[in-house]
């Protein structure tokens, strides 16, 4: 099983949106996919299942050694897509002191999922690279970093590079898939220029070719906790996330099973 964390230092950059839609694309391609909500705010499961707020989830598993991965897996309408909600333990203390404490629980969880035959595990994390997120990054095979394609985004580049360095320190085996630019406003020259500027500043292998456009459909979909592809008029965005998935698969050749 390949585990891909979707992480960033900054909040509100599109992590959850990328995680849901990328997981949906992997599942549609036929791979048995699990989407894990490791954000204590618990936004992934919001309404993928109506009761997800009441279900046990990732943060319960971290706190309660008697829980098994099996008990947390929620099926979706798409046979190849399941999810693990954030759970009731979501009030879990995010403080920096917890790094390493939950690492063996996270590793055990991923081993169990692997044994259950999942091929891809996408983990949506909270903003910031400390605490449980650091443990997730230590246990993951790969990480993708969403970044909003707006002029202010350029200012956060040094922090982004620093974050990437830190990810590689916690886990030297981590494949850094790179930065995925999100919320690009295709008709706005400033937005297009920003994409170009970020490409000029960042090492080219660290910026994914696929850019996610800004589209109101994402806001409508996220209000319902759904992948945008299942919405009416979502067909175009399906293609975008399929393109992103193919890029990921190319970068993970040798790590991911054909």
Ligand X SMILES: Nc1ncnc2c1ncn2[C@@H]1O[C@H](COP(=O)(O)OP(=O)(O)OP(=O)(O)O)[C@@H](O)[C@H]1O
Taking the least distance from each CB to ligand X, the nearer of 183 and 195 is 183
CB 6 within 8 A of CB 124: yes
Distance CA 172, CA 168 (A): 5
Task: Please give the residues from 110 up to 129 whose contact with ligand X meets the rule CB under 6 A.
Answer: 127
Binding mask 138-177 for ligand X (x = CB under 6 A): ----------------------------------------
For the chain, state the CA radius of gyration.
Answer: 17
Sheet (strand 175-182) strand order: 74-75, 81-84, 33-38, 120-125, 2-6, 142-148, 175-182
Distance CA 161, CA 179 (A): 10
Closest contact distance (angstroms) between CB of 184 and ligand X is: 8
Q: Name the segment binding ligand X (CB under 6 A); options: 104-112, 164-172, 214-222, 240-248.
A: 214-222
Residue 5, token pair as written in the block = 């964390």
Distance CA 12, CA 127 (A): 8
Task: Please give the residues from 6 up to 45 whose contact with ligand X meets the rule CB under 6 A.
Answer: 11-17, 39
Beta-bridge mates of residue 38 = 125
Closest contact distance (angstroms) between CB of 19 and ligand X is: 8
Choosing from 1, 72, 167, 212, the residue that interacts with ligand X (CB under 6 A) is 212
183 near ligand X, judged by CB under 6 A:
yes
Q: Work out what residue 17 binds among Mg ion, ligand X, none; the CB cut-off runs from 5 to 8 Å by kind.
A: ligand X
Q: Is 16 helix (H, G, I), strand (E, B) or coil?
A: helix
Task: Please give the residues from 2 up to 41 whose contact with Mg ion meets the rule CB under 5 A.
Answer: 15-16
Taking the least distance from each CB to Mg ion, the nearer of 218 and 256 is 218
Taking the least distance from each CB to ligand X, the nearer of 42 and 119 is 42
For the chain, the 3-state helix, strand and coil shares in percent, each to the nearest 5, are 45, 15, 35
Choosing from 52, 102, 133, 222, the residue that interacts with ligand X (CB under 6 A) is 222
CB 35 within 8 A of CB 20: yes
Closest contact distance (angstroms) between CB of 95 and ligand X is: 18
Taking the least distance from each CB to ligand X, the nearer of 176 and 217 is 217
Closest contact distance (angstroms) between CB of 48 and ligand X is: 14
Distance CA 252, CA 31 (A): 15
Residue 56, token pair as written in the block = 């046990």
Q: 39 CB contacts (<8 Å, ≥6 apart)?
A: 15, 16, 86, 124, 125, 126
Closest contact distance (angstroms) between CB of 36 and Mg ion is: 12
Interface with ligand X (CB under 6 A): 11-17, 39, 127, 182-183, 212, 214-215, 218-219, 222
Interface with Mg ion (CB under 5 A): 15-16
């Amino acid at each position: 099983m390949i585990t891909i964390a979707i992480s960033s230092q900054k909040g509100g950059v599109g992590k959850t949106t990328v995680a849901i839609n990328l997981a949906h694309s992997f599942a549609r391609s036929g791979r048995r996919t699990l989407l894990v909500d490791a954000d204590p705010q618990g936004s992934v499961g919001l309404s993928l299942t109506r009761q997800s707020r009441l279900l046990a989830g990732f943060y319960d598993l971290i706190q309660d050694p008697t829980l098994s991965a099996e008990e947390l897996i929620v099926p979706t309408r798409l046979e190849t897509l399941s999810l693990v909600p954030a759970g009731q333990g979501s009030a879990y203390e995010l403080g920096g002191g917890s790094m390493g404490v939950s690492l063996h629980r996270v590793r055990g969880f991923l081993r169990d999922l692997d044994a259950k035959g999942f091929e891809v595990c996408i983990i949506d994390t909270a903003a910031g690279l400390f605490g449980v997120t650091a443990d997730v990054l230590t246990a993951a095979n790969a990480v993708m970093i969403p970044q909003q394609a707006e002029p202010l985004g350029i200012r956060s580049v040094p922090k982004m590079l620093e974050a990437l360095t830190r990810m590689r320190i916690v886990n030297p085996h981590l494949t850094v898939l790179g930065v995925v630019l999100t919320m690009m406003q295709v008709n706005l020259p400033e937005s297009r220029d920003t994409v170009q500027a970020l490409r000029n500043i960042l090492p080219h292998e660290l910026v994914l070719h696929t850019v996610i456009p800004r589209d109101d459909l994402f806001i409508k979909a996220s209000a319902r906790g759904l992948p945008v592809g299942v919405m009416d008029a979502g067909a175009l965005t399906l293609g975008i996330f399929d393109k992103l998935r193919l890029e990921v698969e190319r970068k993970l050749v040798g790590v991911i099973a054909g």
